Structure 1
Amino acid sequence: MDAFKRYTVASRPWTFTASVIPIAVTAALCKKELGAELFSMNLLSALIVGIGCQAASNLTNSYYDFKYGVDNKFSSGDRSLVEKKISPSGALVSSSLLYLVVTMVALPHLWQSIARGGSEVAWVFLPGMALAYFYTAGPYNLKYHCLGDLAIFLAFGPLLMQFTALLLTGSVQWQLMSYTLPVGLLTEAILHANNTRDIKTDSKAGANTLATVMGYQVSVVLLAVMIIGAYVAAAWITWAESCGAGITFLSLPVALMILKDLSPKKLVNMDERCAQLHLLFGVLLTLGISISSYLGC
């Protein structure tokens, strides 16, 4: 049991809202537009795949960051490997088991899609799995070659949301795309805040993240653009698609405090604050879509 607890902590369960929010937003929209059944095995499958894949990716990421010297006792966000609470081989085995579970859960849906004469589920599931694994794993090491930010946006935005829609409705839902913008941008803001804070240590380890390439000043501006962009997208959604989405602006004071505090001394926990904003915004957006279905707008 102690080992299970240590590996659970190493999978960083506090980050799983990054998977839950896009799935929740998608489910609410599919319910509003198409009357999709929310409390179903299909939604449970989407949650298992989303959370399981993220947990596996977190463990893979910890392993390779530790292996390449990006994580050490001075710069590690997750200290499970640095403090030898889990072993490197254990991290790899655990991530492999999680990838296997995710694949087994997704397989029936892949087969159903193919049986209907389509391959849409495969087209979103397989790239999502690849991005999760190759985020830090070789031979691509996306995080270390300035592609990690794009990978996170795609994985937690369009890919996960379309995967959920496919499971709930059986078809691609293009109206989702505008909703992927605020969700994807705020998810990416969490990563970018983390990478901006770690510019010095990542540079020393040879990790070429977008933040290390752009430098501190430009990275801070980009972080602000991501946060502001999420609210611009929310305004468009409120005007053009779901009037209830306007309640996302109740989270604006939290966003403004983050923008106000974009300074070197306050970056230590900026990723956590961006994660809190992502959660609050996502919950409000989900509620807003649900409200819109009752208001008929």
Structure 2
Amino acid sequence: MASVAEWVEGARLRTWPNAIAPVVAGTGAALGTSGFDLPLAVLSLLVALLLITGVNFANDYSDGIRGTDEERTGPQRLVGSGAARPRSVLAAALGCFALAAVAGLAVLYLSGHWWLLLLGAASIAGAWFYTGGKHPYGYAGFGELAVFCFFGPAAVLGTMYVQADTVNGSGVGAAVAMGSFSSAVLVANNLRDIPTDTASGKRTLAVLLGDRDTRTLYVLLVLVPLLISTLTALRITPALLGFLALPLLIAPLRTVLGGGTGLRLLPVLRDTGLAMLVWAVATAVGFTLA
């Protein structure tokens, strides 16, 4: 039976910045239009945290029962390590998705935008079928694209829209930046796992691209938010605050460009997620000041 510490490890709280940052960015964009709504912002954050925790447990379960976690260089998995029964991890995943659905319904009720129910359903389905089902899209090289869409446009513009009843160019720019950062985190994760994923038949984008091109993709993705900050600053000068994230990217860029592998790539995931959060907070402040 897994301990509390093992369950916390299985929830992968270190991935939470990837859920928090898009909501912060979307709320900042809403503030820029004087559309801030605290209850909706808090509920949107709750939805995001529950979804990312649910997908972490779902991935743990699906990868575990397939045997793709038997040899890992990353954090311990509950099912793959034998610390928890598959049914228990599946129940945790489904419980998180159910709570996310309840919080999402509260967002729709308060905002009146019931058509966003389709977006919520798509988000839960995307979270499950990333590694779940007979043909998981995460095993076919589409993980990064899905992460870009769900943690970028869906999360950022959804958060902005329920609060401000509109979206604008600033919100779209923030959505692209968040999607790029989130994809970069997954690219770094899959870069680390190329050897084990190849051996287990898991065809991630990193496996398909190969080591060198995956490293190039990571660099391009983390530079996109800085380009967004520059372009946004042409109209909203305080958007340059997004460059506060740059110092956090120096170490991961050195590791990736320097050929780091295995456990050396773990800090890259952490630092990229933190850079994503700093960019979101700084840019939200910039939107507010403007």
Which of 166, 172, 178 is the equivalent residue of 2:173?
178
TM-score normalized by the length of structure 2: 0.90
Taking a change above 3 Å as real, the CA distance of residues 229 and 150 of structure 1, as seen in their structure-2 partners, is same
Separation of aligned partners in 1, 2:280 and 2:55: 26
CA apart distance, 1:267: 5.3
Match of 1:192 in 2: 187
SS at match of 1:132: helix
> What amino acid is aligned across from residue 127 of structure 1 in structure 2?
A
Which of 282, 285, 288 is the equivalent residue of 2:277?
282
Match of 2:16 in 1: 16
CA contact (8 A) 1:29 1:290 kept: no
Aligned length in residues: 288
Separation of aligned partners in 2, 1:68 and 1:254: 36
CA contact (8 A) 1:56 1:98 kept: yes
CA contact (8 A) 1:32 1:290 kept: no
CA contact (8 A) 1:231 1:249 kept: yes
Separation of aligned partners in 1, 2:286 and 2:219: 29
1:261 aligns with 2:261: no
> What amino acid is aligned across from residue 244 of structure 1 in structure 2?
P
Tell me which of the two structures has the higher relative contact order, counting C-alpha pairs closer than 8 angstroms and 6 or more residues apart.
2
CA apart distance, 1:54: 0.7
Match of 1:129 in 2: 124
CA apart distance, 1:5: 4.5
**Aligned positions of 1:244-255 closer than 5 A:** 244-255=238-249
TM-score normalized by the length of structure 1: 0.88
1:211 aligns with 2:203: no
Taking a change above 3 Å as real, the CA distance of residues 173 and 14 of structure 1, as seen in their structure-2 partners, is same
Match of 2:153 in 1: 158
Instruction: Name the Cα RMSD after superposition.
Output: 2.3
CA apart distance, 1:111: 4.9
1:170-192: CA deviation from partner (whole Å, max 9, x where unpaired): x3414311111111111111110
Taking a change above 3 Å as real, the CA distance of residues 140 and 45 of structure 1, as seen in their structure-2 partners, is farther
CA apart distance, 1:90: 0.5
**Aligned positions of 1:64-79 closer than 5 A:** 64-79=62-77
Point out where structure 1 has 5 or more consecutive residues left out of the alignment. none
Point out where structure 2 has 5 or more consecutive residues left out of the alignment. none
> What amino acid is aligned across from residue 8 of structure 1 in structure 2?
V
CA contact (8 A) 1:187 1:275 kept: no
Taking a change above 3 Å as real, the CA distance of residues 32 and 111 of structure 1, as seen in their structure-2 partners, is closer
CA apart distance, 1:109: 3.5
Match of 1:49 in 2: 47
